[in-house]
Amino acid sequence: MIIINSTIGQDGIFKLNLVLFRGEVYDMAKTETEFSKYAQAFREVIDGNKTYKTILTKDLLKMGLTDLDKDYINTKYPTYTDNIGKRHIEDNKGSGLLKYYEGANDLSNLISNLETEFDEEFRERYCEELQDYDELKIMKFAHSLNIAEDTDDFDEISEAIAEYYSSLIKRAASKKRRKTKTSTDTTKTGSNSIELSYTFTELEKKALVNLCKLNNNSLLNLEYQIKNICDKQQKLLNLNNSEQNELLKDKLQYDIDSLNKHFIEIYHQLEEQCNDMVELLKPKKHINANLDRIISIAKDIISYKNKIKSIDIYVLNYFSLIRSRFDTAYIHLSKVIDKL
Same structural domain, 178 and 242? no
pLDDT above 70 covers a percentage of the chain that reads 79
Alpha-helix runs per DSSP H in 108-201: 108-111, 120-130, 135-144, 154-190, 193-197
Helix (H, G, I), strand (E, B) or coil at 21: strand
- pLDDT digit string, tens, across residues 237-248: 888 777 677 888
The DSSP call for residue 63 is T
In a domain, 118, yes or no: yes
In a domain, 49, yes or no: yes
Residue 161 has pLDDT above 90, yes or no: yes
Q: Which range is most confident: 29-38, 166-175, 184-193, 259-268?
A: 259-268
Task: Report the C-alpha gap between 276 and 204 in whole angstroms.
Answer: 12
- pLDDT digit string, tens, across residues 284-335: 878 888 888 888 888 888 877 656 655 555 566 777 888 888 888 888 888 8
In a domain, 276, yes or no: yes
209's torsion region: left (phi>0), alpha (psi -120 to 50) or beta? alpha
Same structural domain, 156 and 213? no
In a domain, 63, yes or no: yes
Q: Which domain holds residue 325?
A: 197-339
Same structural domain, 221 and 298? yes
Same structural domain, 326 and 203? yes
- pLDDT digit string, tens, across residues 70-122: 888 988 888 888 888 888 888 767 888 988 898 888 788 788 788 888 889 99
The predicted pLDDT at position 190 comes to 43
The residue from 152, 184, 216 where one domain ends is 184
Same structural domain, 216 and 158? no
- pLDDT digit string, tens, across residues 191-238: 455 656 677 888 888 888 888 888 888 888 888 888 888 888 888 888
Domain count, the chain: 2
Same structural domain, 176 and 93? yes
In a domain, 23, yes or no: no
Residue 267 has pLDDT above 80, yes or no: yes
- pLDDT digit string, tens, across residues 125-159: 999 999 999 999 999 999 999 999 889 899 999 99
| Residue 114 CB neighbours (<10 A) | 19
**Which amino acid, residue 286?**
H
pLDDT (average), residues 22-49: 72
The predicted pLDDT at position 62 comes to 95
Run of H or E residues at 269: helix 246-281
Same structural domain, 105 and 156? yes
The residue from 155, 184, 213 where one domain ends is 184
Confidence band, pLDDT 50/70/90 cuts, at residue 23: very low
In a domain, 191, yes or no: no
pLDDT (average), residues 53-80: 91
Higher pLDDT: 242 or 266? It is: 266
Confidence band, pLDDT 50/70/90 cuts, at residue 14: very low
In a domain, 306, yes or no: yes
Residue 63 has pLDDT above 60, yes or no: yes
The residue from 161, 184, 207 where one domain ends is 184
The predicted pLDDT at position 196 comes to 62
Same structural domain, 75 and 179? yes
Residue 167 has pLDDT above 60, yes or no: yes
Closest listed residue to residue 165, CA positions, set 111, 225, 218, 201: 111
Lowest-confidence segment of 2-6, 74-78, 259-263 by average pLDDT: 2-6
Task: Report the C-alpha gap between 194 and 187 in whole angstroms.
Answer: 12
Those residues with Cβ within 8 angstroms of residue 292's Cβ, 6 or more apart along the chain or in another chain: 285, 286
Same structural domain, 102 and 235? no
Same structural domain, 136 and 230? no
The predicted pLDDT at position 200 comes to 80
Quote the pTM value: 0.47
Same structural domain, 264 and 306? yes
In a domain, 4, yes or no: no
Same structural domain, 329 and 251? yes
Confidence band, pLDDT 50/70/90 cuts, at residue 53: very high
Question: What does the longest C-alpha to C-alpha distance in the chain come to?
Answer: 80
